[in-house]
């Protein structure tokens, strides 16, 4: 049994799921200049209540910077994080690239579709909050 890239979830009121390397682990292993982090704050459909905002849910995809930009880790904070993380764990285990994940059609309206729309990098300094549908 290969225990690398085992997905895990913390079942708190706002779930957290992850698989693969953290940003810090990836930087320690590959160096800051070789790691690209895509991220977004998003507002899931379940948060139609006015007092819950987009800053509560967050996605981070850690990739190698050089082509083919292999996905090293995925971190997901939001509703159904366990199911979302489990689905993307197979891709990471099979060596999926950022481009392959982005070519995946997300199921609408689900939280997991936010993963396949990640396009803002931390390095860019752009505002990562998703607006609209």
Q: Using one digit for the tens of pLDDT, what is the confidence trace for 57-106? A: 999 999 999 999 999 999 999 999 999 999 999 999 999 999 999 999 99
- The pLDDT of 106-122, averaged and rounded, is 94
Using the 8-state DSSP alphabet, how is residue 107 labeled? Answer: P
4: Cβ–Cβ under 8 A, 6 or more apart, which residues?
Answer: none
pLDDT at 50: 59
Which active-site residues does the annotation give?
108
For the chain, give the number of residues. 133
pLDDT at 68: 97
pTM for the structure as a whole: 0.93
**11, two tokens:** 């079942």
Strands (E), the chain: 8-10, 16-20, 35-42, 57-64, 71-77
**How far apart are alpha carbons 65 and 35 in whole angstroms?**
5
- Domains of the chain, with CATH numbers? 8-124 (3.30.390.30)
Q: Using one digit for the tens of pLDDT, what is the confidence trace for 8-22? A: 999 998 999 999 999
């Amino acid at each position: 049994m290969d225990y690398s890239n085992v997905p895990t979830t913390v079942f708190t009121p706002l779930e957290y799921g992850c698989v693969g390397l953290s940003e810090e682990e990836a930087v320690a292993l590959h160096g800051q200049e070789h790691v690209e982090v895509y991220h977004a704050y998003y507002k899931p459909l379940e948060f139609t209540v006015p007092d819950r905002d987009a800053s509560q849910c967050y996605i981070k995809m850690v990739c190698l910077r050089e082509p083919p930009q292999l996905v090293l880790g995925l971190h997901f904070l939001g509703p159904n994080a366990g199911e979302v993380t489990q689905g993307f764990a197979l891709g990471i285990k099979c060596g999926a690239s950022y481009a392959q994940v982005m070519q995946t059609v997300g199921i609408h309206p689900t939280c997991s579709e936010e993963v396949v729309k990640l396009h803002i990098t931390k390095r860019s300094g752009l505002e990562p909050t998703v607006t609209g549908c």
